[in-house]
Amino acid sequence: MMTNLFSTFDPSTLLYTQLNWMSMMISFMIIPSLFWLIPNRMNFLVQMMLMKLHMEFKILTKNNNTLIFISLFFFILINNFMGLFPYIFTSSSHLVFTLSFALPLWLSFMIFGWLNNTYYMFAHLMPQGTPPVLMPFMVCIETISNVIRPGTLAIRLSANMIAGHLLLTLLGNTGTMVDMLIFIVILVQFLLIILESAVAIIQSYVFAILSTLYSSETS
């Protein structure tokens, strides 16, 4: 209840908090953060990575539709790095995670290729210059290699993430039993973490680049 006309300008609420002052921040929340921030080194690094990936994927796909592959690369990269922190679930080491990306991508490429480029897809089953005697075997081999592509994509990523984490776990358990060699174990674990960081980048890049190659074969 207002006591006088100027009580509407009272900044305090009924709970004696200063929530009304939050109205000052609404305009700052609407305006994008890039309006206020000067581009820093992290922004330059991300922009450089985006341009490099776009140029490489554009050459393979022969068009400018590279957003899905760049997004896939960064999403897998972030999940791989998050798994290196203690007590954080490594989602990229499970086939549920990797197959959920590999299988829909492969199915969409196959459906698009067989519906729009049927003759090209049939011709792709027979490599150029194959002897007539080997043609039936080459068709079977190419069909099998095409069918197992989502499985190889998923298993490659999950197996590499599992292998590194197992090594780190085994070394961590060994360090508690060998007190004299604790410094050597810590050094080896530090080197393994550097190796796992490189594997996280490489495997996300391999997953994205192979997906790009598979899409280029259907267009």
The parent domain of residue 115 ranges over 68-216
Burial of 80 (0-12, 13-18, 19+ CB in 10 A): buried
DSSP track, 98-167: HHHHHHHHHHHHHHHHHHH-HHHHHHHTS-TT--GGGHHHHHHHHHHHHHTHHHHHHHHHHHHHHHHHHH
Is residue 79 a contact partner of residue 101, using CB atoms and an 8 Å limit? Answer: no
Q: What is the model's pLDDT at position 83?
A: 82
Average pLDDT over residues 96-113: 90
Residue 212 included in any domain: yes
Say yes or no to pLDDT of 115 above 50: yes
CA distance 47 to 45: 5
Predicted TM-score (pTM) of this structure? 0.75
Q: How many domains does the chain have?
A: 1
Say yes or no to pLDDT of 34 above 80: no
- Tens-digit pLDDT profile for residues 171-210: 777 766 666 677 777 888 888 889 999 999 999 999 999 9
Say yes or no to pLDDT of 18 above 60: no
Say yes or no to pLDDT of 70 above 60: yes
State the chain's mean pLDDT as an integer. Answer: 80
Residue carrying the six token digits 């299988």 = 103
Residue 124 included in any domain: yes
Which tops the pLDDT comparison, 13 or 61?
A: 61
Residue 195 included in any domain: yes
Q: What is the model's pLDDT at position 199?
A: 92
Say yes or no to pLDDT of 93 above 80: yes
Residue 111 included in any domain: yes
| pLDDT band per the 50, 70, 90 thresholds, residue 47 | confident
Residue 119 included in any domain: yes
